[in-house]
């Protein structure tokens, strides 16, 4: 039973993250939604058994977030 | 036709529409919305069990984001 429930709950988490990324207006809110989306993606990778890919994903996604935060941190004209 | 494939393709379609018509129409919104089809493509590659494709795609997506950030900085400084 729990094996059938976990993919459905992760799917709900992914779509909540996608909707919040697409429909919120502030860029910081969008980045938080992107983190929710990646929190739904990483257990899917681990359930298929690719632990090395999960390590790379978990290292690269915060780096991408930091790159976008460099763009947001400057004073806007 | 498992659940990763379905979720990945629906994420690609939804993210493409969100990138094509962003709500505040500026470059940062487009860049952040561009991450949505990237995650969808990652799920589709995961459903086909392509390990090397997954590793290469994730590494290249980070470099692409860095290049886009530099381009947007130059573009906004020029305006």
ipTM comes to 0.86
* Tokens linked to B31: 């860049």
Distance CA B74, CA B14 (A): 29
Structure confidence at residue A4 (pLDDT)? 87
Question: For A24-38, what is the mean pLDDT?
Answer: 91
The secondary element (H helix, E strand) that includes residue A8 is helix A2-23
Interchain proximity B54–A14, CB inside 8 Å: no
* pLDDT range class, residue A16, cuts 50, 70, 90: very high
- Best A42, A53, A72 member to test B by mutation, with max B CBs in 10 Å, is A53
Distance CA B77, CA A21 (A): 26
* Tokens linked to B16: 């493409």
* pLDDT range class, residue A40, cuts 50, 70, 90: very high
Residues 6+ apart with CB under 8 A from A45: A53, A54, A57, B46, B54
* pLDDT range class, residue A77, cuts 50, 70, 90: low
Give the closest-approach CA distance of B8 to chain A in angstroms: 10
Interchain proximity A44–B43, CB inside 8 Å: yes
- Best B29, B39, B40 member to test A by mutation, with max A CBs in 10 Å, is B39
* Tokens linked to A54: 């999960």
Candidates A11, A34, A41; nearest CB to B3: A11
Question: For A58-69, what is the mean pLDDT?
Answer: 90
Distance CA B44, CA A17 (A): 18
One pLDDT digit (tens) per residue for chain B, 79 residues = 788 899 999 999 999 999 999 888 888 899 999 999 999 999 999 999 888 998 999 999 889 999 999 998 888 888 7
């Amino acid at each position: 039973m729990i094996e059938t429930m976990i993919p459905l709950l992760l799917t709900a988490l992914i779509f909540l993250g996608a909707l919040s990324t697409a429909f919120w207006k502030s860029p910081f809110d969008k980045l938080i939604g992107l983190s929710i989306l990646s929190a739904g993606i990483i257990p899917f990778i681990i359930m298929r058994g690719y632990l090395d890919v999960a390590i790379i994903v978990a290292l690269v996604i915060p780096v991408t977030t930091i790159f976008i935060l460099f763009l947001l941190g400057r004073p806007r004209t | 036709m498992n659940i990763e494939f379905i979720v990945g393709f629906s994420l690609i379609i939804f993210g493409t529409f969100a990138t094509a018509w962003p709500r505040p129409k500026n470059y940062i919104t487009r860049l952040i919305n561009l991450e949505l089809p990237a995650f969808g493509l990652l799920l589709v590659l995961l459903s086909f069990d392509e390990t090397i494709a997954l590793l290469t795609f994730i590494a290249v997506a980070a470099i692409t984001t860095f290049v886009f950030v530099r381009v947007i900085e130059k573009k906004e400084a020029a305006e």
